[in-house]
Amino acid sequence: MQNTESGRLKISALGSAAKQLAAVKGYLEKAIAAFIKPRRGRKLSPVEVQQLEALLPRIAGSNSAAELLPLIEQGLAVTQPYKEA
Protein backbone atom coordinates (compact mmCIF):
# COMPACT_ATOMS: atom_id res chain seq x y z
CA MET A 1 0.00 0.00 0.00
CA GLN A 2 2.84 2.44 0.77
CA ASN A 3 4.38 1.76 -2.65
CA THR A 4 1.04 2.44 -4.31
CA GLU A 5 0.63 5.67 -2.35
CA SER A 6 4.09 6.84 -3.41
CA GLY A 7 3.48 5.95 -7.05
CA ARG A 8 6.33 3.40 -7.16
CA LEU A 9 4.00 0.45 -7.70
CA LYS A 10 1.40 0.44 -10.43
CA ILE A 11 -0.49 -2.84 -10.55
CA SER A 12 -4.08 -2.35 -11.60
CA ALA A 13 -5.19 -5.60 -9.92
CA LEU A 14 -4.41 -4.09 -6.50
CA GLY A 15 -6.65 -1.10 -7.05
CA SER A 16 -5.92 2.49 -6.18
CA ALA A 17 -4.13 3.52 -3.03
CA ALA A 18 -7.42 4.88 -1.68
CA LYS A 19 -9.14 1.55 -2.31
CA GLN A 20 -6.33 -0.38 -0.62
CA LEU A 21 -6.37 2.00 2.35
CA ALA A 22 -10.13 1.60 2.74
CA ALA A 23 -9.77 -2.19 2.66
CA VAL A 24 -7.01 -2.21 5.28
CA LYS A 25 -8.98 0.14 7.53
CA GLY A 26 -11.97 -2.19 7.24
CA TYR A 27 -9.83 -5.21 8.14
CA LEU A 28 -8.42 -3.42 11.18
CA GLU A 29 -11.86 -2.36 12.40
CA LYS A 30 -13.20 -5.90 12.03
CA ALA A 31 -10.15 -7.34 13.81
CA ILE A 32 -10.59 -4.99 16.76
CA ALA A 33 -14.31 -5.78 17.03
CA ALA A 34 -13.58 -9.52 16.93
CA PHE A 35 -10.80 -9.25 19.51
CA ILE A 36 -12.97 -7.31 21.95
CA LYS A 37 -15.55 -10.12 22.02
CA PRO A 38 -14.76 -12.60 24.81
CA ARG A 39 -13.81 -16.01 23.47
CA ARG A 40 -11.97 -19.14 24.53
CA GLY A 41 -11.45 -17.89 28.03
CA ARG A 42 -10.07 -14.54 26.88
CA LYS A 43 -11.66 -11.60 28.61
CA LEU A 44 -10.09 -8.22 28.16
CA SER A 45 -9.97 -5.74 31.00
CA PRO A 46 -12.14 -2.63 30.69
CA VAL A 47 -8.98 -0.56 30.15
CA GLU A 48 -7.86 -2.80 27.27
CA VAL A 49 -11.31 -2.59 25.67
CA GLN A 50 -11.25 1.19 25.99
CA GLN A 51 -7.75 1.37 24.47
CA LEU A 52 -8.82 -0.72 21.47
CA GLU A 53 -12.10 1.17 21.03
CA ALA A 54 -10.16 4.46 21.10
CA LEU A 55 -8.22 3.29 18.05
CA LEU A 56 -11.37 2.91 15.90
CA PRO A 57 -12.04 6.62 15.17
CA ARG A 58 -8.34 7.21 14.64
CA ILE A 59 -8.21 4.35 12.12
CA ALA A 60 -11.30 5.68 10.35
CA GLY A 61 -9.77 9.14 10.15
CA SER A 62 -6.36 8.06 8.88
CA ASN A 63 -5.40 9.10 5.39
CA SER A 64 -2.30 7.02 4.70
CA ALA A 65 -0.42 3.88 5.57
CA ALA A 66 2.05 6.01 7.51
CA GLU A 67 -0.78 7.17 9.78
CA LEU A 68 -2.01 3.60 10.26
CA LEU A 69 1.32 2.07 11.28
CA PRO A 70 1.49 3.65 14.78
CA LEU A 71 -2.14 2.69 15.38
CA ILE A 72 -1.41 -0.90 14.41
CA GLU A 73 1.57 -0.91 16.77
CA GLN A 74 -0.62 0.39 19.61
CA GLY A 75 -3.20 -2.30 18.95
CA LEU A 76 -0.51 -4.98 18.92
CA ALA A 77 0.85 -3.70 22.23
CA VAL A 78 -2.59 -4.01 23.84
CA THR A 79 -3.19 -7.50 22.44
CA GLN A 80 0.33 -8.88 22.99
CA PRO A 81 -0.51 -10.53 26.37
CA TYR A 82 -3.15 -12.63 24.56
CA LYS A 83 -0.85 -13.87 21.81
CA GLU A 84 -1.43 -17.55 21.20
CA ALA A 85 1.73 -19.62 21.14
Residue that wins the pLDDT comparison between 49 and 14: 49
* DSSP class of 39: B
Domain ranges of the chain: 24-82
pLDDT recorded at residue 40: 77
- 15-36 burial, b if ≥16 CB within 10 A, otherwise e? eebeebbeebbeebeeebeebe
Q: What is the pLDDT, as a whole number, of residue 82?
A: 86
Query: Does residue 78 have a pLDDT over 50?
Result: yes
Determine the Cα angle at 53 with ends 50 and 59, to 5°. Answer: 145
Q: What is the pLDDT of residues 35-75, one digit of tens each?
A: 999 887 788 999 999 999 999 999 999 999 999 999 999 99
The pLDDT of residue 43: 86
